[in-house]
Structure 1
Amino acid sequence: MASGNAIRGSRIGSSRGGEPERGTPAPRTWVTFWCENRHETTRGFAQDDDVDIPELWDCPRCGLPAGTDRDNPPQAQKVAPFKTHLAYVKERRTDADGEALLDEALEALRARRDG
């Protein structure tokens, strides 16, 4: 069994007491994001001219996009189902085109077999 005088979950330099050695943290701008499920997420961004605050943030609870407007959160994007190669071919070709290609391929096979 461990001794009773150990401080659990801490290490040297992990507390705010070490700040004078490392310097003070950069000033932050706190931005709150809301998703379609009304989850609230607050993130801090550095107050710097080079830092762009994003318009959307992924909700850590449900994964939906979250925005800064509480009353009008962004809608989840519709995900298209997986399409097979055959589905894409059927979009480009009609049944008549398919029949014509099949007849052409069968004629080529018959010509090779008989020739």
Structure 2
Amino acid sequence: MASGNAIRGIRVGSGPIRADERCEPAPSRTVSYWCANGHRVAPLFAAEVTAPPTWECPRCGQPAGQDRLHPPGAPRAEPYKSHLAYVKERRTEAEGAAILAEALRNLRQRRGEE
């Protein structure tokens, strides 16, 4: 149970803030974006900021563009790549064979086979 002299309620001076009372709102603008499913997204941007060319649709997750008649298509999903696939992108077959030979030589030296 709280003591009898406890202050209850809100902080002093934290009443509802109305823009006309306490501050002047920053100039802003709304930019409309449309996705391929026809959803419209209208985020608010500061007036001096350049709006990005695409925006993610919050309803379907597709990219949305500013051109209503030609919205951007769905992003292409890259297939899963294994570690070996990434290594093969960076190395040639000859480099891979040289690295394997070096690793086998080091392994045999540690085992005392050479």
TM-score tier, shorter chain, comes to 0.5 to 0.7
The aligned counterpart of 2:44 is: 44
**Structure 1: stretches of 5+ with no match in the other structure:** 1-10
**Structure 2: stretches of 5+ with no match in the other structure:** 1-13
Letter in 2 for 1:84: S
Letter in 2 for 1:33: Y
Let me know the Cα RMSD of the aligned residues.
3.0
Q: Secondary structure at the match of 2:29?
A: strand
Separation in structure 1 between the aligned mates of residue 105 and residue 26 of structure 2, nearest angstrom: 75
The aligned counterpart of 1:13 is: 16
Q: Which consecutive aligned stretches of 4+ in structure 1 deviate over 3 angstroms post-superposition?
A: 23-28, 96-112
Letter in 2 for 1:71: L
Separation in structure 2 between the aligned mates of residue 20 and residue 106 of structure 1, nearest angstrom: 77
TM-score by length of 2: 0.61
Identity percentage of aligned residues = 48
The aligned counterpart of 1:114 is: 113
The aligned counterpart of 2:77 is: 79
The aligned counterpart of 2:31 is: 31
Separation in structure 2 between the aligned mates of residue 93 and residue 103 of structure 1, nearest angstrom: 14
Q: Secondary structure at the match of 1:34?
A: strand
Aligned length in residues? 99
Letter in 2 for 1:75: G
Q: 1:110 to 1:63 in 2, by over 3 A?
A: same
